[in-house]
Amino acid sequence: MRRSTTVVVMAAALGGGAGGCLGGISHEEPPLAEVIGSFGPALTKVNEEPVESGAVPGMFIDVWASEPAAREYLRVINGESGSQVTLPEGSVILRVLRDRAGRATRFTAIVKREPGFHPPADFSFAVFDADGQKARGPDGALMEGTLAECLACHLTRPADGYLFGWPRR
């Protein structure tokens, strides 16, 4: 939609780089750049190498976050409870789901909204497809907003700002 010629040219240039096991991942890959660009704040990468997702079997993840959320998010330890992290309003956390070849196949995002938006987490969720466009659910509706299917899991983490943290290796 807002795809510019520059992005298309970048796609062509990067086309050959996605081979190999999780190799050749560029942070400039067009769908990721497009998803990141759709949020207000700039996002920085939080983890180093992609790690296997604990939530989505067989997939690998990277996490990007706005500042100062990125620093807060570092304190959330996957598998442990009690970091007492609370994200400031306007924070964005983006999880990139990658297949074994390193290709981004889906993007899931959490935006921390204003107090009272949707207590107790006050999260707005969003899901993007591999092409960087907003995903649609089985009913055809855009997968964004207070999505109950996302909240169900994240609400189980009240002592960590409703966040899981990425699996450390």
What is the biggest distance separating any 2 CA atoms in the chain, rounded to whole angstroms? 47
Question: What size, in residues, is the chain?
Answer: 169
Cβ 14 to ligand HEC shortest distance, Å: 24
Q: Does 127 bind ligand HEC (CB under 6 A)?
A: yes
Six-digit token pair at 98?
């990658």
Cβ 10 to ligand HEC shortest distance, Å: 25
Six-digit token pair at 119?
């207590």
Ramachandran class of 21: left when φ > 0, alpha when ψ lies in -120 to 50, beta otherwise:
beta
Segment 23-28 long-range contacts (CB within 8 Å, at least 24 positions apart): 23/102, 24/102, 25/50, 25/98, 25/102
Q: Does 124 bind ligand HEC (CB under 6 A)?
A: no
Near ligand HEC in 131-150, by CB under 6 A? 147, 149-150
Cβ 98 to ligand HEC shortest distance, Å: 11
Cβ 108 to ligand HEC shortest distance, Å: 4
The mark string for 59-98 relative to ligand HEC (x by CB under 6 A, - otherwise) is --x-x-----------------------------x-x---
Ramachandran class of 54: left when φ > 0, alpha when ψ lies in -120 to 50, beta otherwise:
alpha
- CA pair distance 124, 85, nearest whole angstrom: 17
Q: Which of 83/108 has CB closer to ligand HEC?
A: 108
Footprint of ligand HEC on this chain (CB under 6 A)?
Answer: 53-56, 61, 63, 93, 95, 108-110, 125, 127, 147, 149-150, 152-154, 163-167
